[in-house]
A = this chain, B = another copy of it.
């Protein structure tokens, strides 16, 4: 319902990359040609016909459906033509907009202000938006538009003019997919297989390898919640996997171990959010993740009054890349004794290149390794000081810190999978949601100060 209030973006969360509609992909695969000028003109007329002010809703619906049918059998080139037309041709009427706005500005502060604003908003709806609205009214319309945007997104870079259509869709989606309409639902092993199948498909953090893997994640010591929307009823828009434990999880491995026994729920004090995935690439820019975590915390507290700690076990997707670019600087600024110890371990003279090469075998480092200490220090630096403007560099950090969490603990070799090694040399981090300090932490972040625990501070100063 907060359509125009700014909110933290859950875009920073991993998002399912697989597209959902194989048939469309197949169609897109075939190397089509763009429309002829004649066909272009026909398409333009078809678009105009959809928003002809003289037709009623029934006829309007019929024309919108015909447009969808055209789209579904169109080649990629033809679709690009459509997107181009919608971006460039269906723009607002400048003089009408000017007049309505002048009228509105004049009314500000008078009793007519609100009415003038409503008139303004109605009168200045761009024709492009009217087309989208017509489509959205069809039962399958919202599903279609979300998919269309998913298909458009990869072409934005090559075709910057399509941004107008993209922005329009993002804005409309953010209105429609208001959190006020989202329904939180628990998913469990008793949920329909057709729904659980989508978790397998959409999981974007730690791949679900099999139904047995999935079943383990829905065991008695786990919870899985998702947000559902009435216009896309068959699938979660975003979902989170939670483990209920006796302590702060320090590695993902036991959580994904299918043969491990379920934890004793009567002793659970800690809820670990170990995977959050967005499912709809077409909803990029529309945010639900922060509400999800808050609603899930409420549900969990209701079901398990003994829970005291709410935290994540999160990947650090940008660490390795950042370290690659900053290793020299970090090495130079390290205390002399650290440099010496590193030299003893990887050979003198110690270079950032040598350090990075040695990190390829991170799993073999001993507990007392200087390289290990250095990597932990760099990771803490990245999380605690890595600020880009006023926002954390790491996308996952951006999300959780934006929600009011703090950086709690860095965990060594917490994700030894190839993906984990590739993203962050196996490091993972816990973000802590201290419910009494969320607003305080957000206020700190607004001043570009990242809230961190003592452990993290200690690691930096190493």
Decide if A439 touches B167 in the complex (CB within 8 Å): no
Which of A97-105, A239-247, A261-269, A347-355 lies at the binding interface? Answer: A97-105
The answer for the CA separation of A15 and B316 in the assembled complex, in Å, is: 51
- Which of B108, B164, B192, B439 sits near A56, CB closer than 8 Å? B439
Asked if A12 is at the interface (CB within 8 A of a chain B CB), the reply is no
CB-based contact B165/A58 at 8 Å: no
CB of A423 within 8 Å of the partner chain: no
A92-B118 in contact (CB<8A): no
Closest to A442 in B: B56
* A21 in the interface (beta carbon within 8 A): no
CA distance A168 to B120 in the complex (A): 13
Which residues of A (146-171) have their CB < 8 Å from a CB of B? 160-161, 163-168, 170-171
Q: Is the CB of A181 within 8 A of B181?
A: yes
Please tell me if the beta carbons of B121 and A2 are within 8 angstroms of each other in the complex.
no
* CB-defined contacts of A105 to chain B, threshold 8 Å: 94, 97-98, 101
Measured CB to CB, the nearest residue on chain B to A87 is B111
Q: With an 8 A cutoff between CB atoms, is A388 at the interface?
A: no
**Chain B residues in 8 Å Cβ range of A93:** 108
Give the residue of B57, B128, B137, B192 whose beta carbon is less than 8 angstroms from that of A190.
B192
**Is B439 a contact of A58 with CB atoms below 8 Å?**
yes
Known: A136-B1, A141-B1, A193-B193. Contact between A230 and B181, CB under 8 A? yes
A211 CB–B CB distance under 8 Å:
yes
B167 and A114 contact, CB distance less than 8 A: yes
Nearest-CB distance from A177 to chain B (Å)?
A: 11
Q: Could you mark each residue 90-130 of chain A with 1 if its beta carbon is under 8 Å from any beta carbon of chain B, else 0?
A: 01111001100100110011011111011001101110111
Q: In the bound complex, how far is the Cα of B168 from the Cα of A354, in angstroms? A: 64
Copies of this chain in its oligomeric complex: 4
- Does A3 touch B at the CB level, under 8 Å? yes
**Nearest residue in B to A116 (C-beta to C-beta)?**
B167
- Chain B contacts of A231 at CB under 8 A? 1, 180-181
Residue A133, interface by CB 8 Å: yes
> How near does chain B come to A172, taking the closest CB pair, in angstroms?
8
**What's the nearest-Cβ distance from chain B to residue A130, in Å?**
7
Q: How far apart are the CA atoms of A3 and B87 in the complex, in Å?
A: 21
Compute how far the CA of A129 lies from the CA of B2 in the bound complex, rounded to whole angstroms: 10
User: Within A168-186, which residues are at the interface with B (CB < 8 Å)?
Assistant: 168, 170-171, 175-176, 179-181, 183
**Which residues of chain B are near A2, meaning CB under 8 Å?**
133-134, 136-137
User: Can you spell out 22 A-B residue pairs with CB atoms less than 8 angstroms apart?
Assistant: A1-B133, A2-B137, A3-B133, A5-B130, A6-B122, A56-B404, A59-B439, A91-B108, A91-B113, A97-B105, A112-B164, A114-B163, A114-B165, A114-B171, A117-B168, A117-B171, A118-B168, A180-B231, A189-B197, A190-B193, A192-B192, A193-B211
Give 7 nearest A-B pairs by CB, closest first: A1-B136, A114-B167, A114-B164, A56-B439, A101-B101, A190-B192, A114-B168
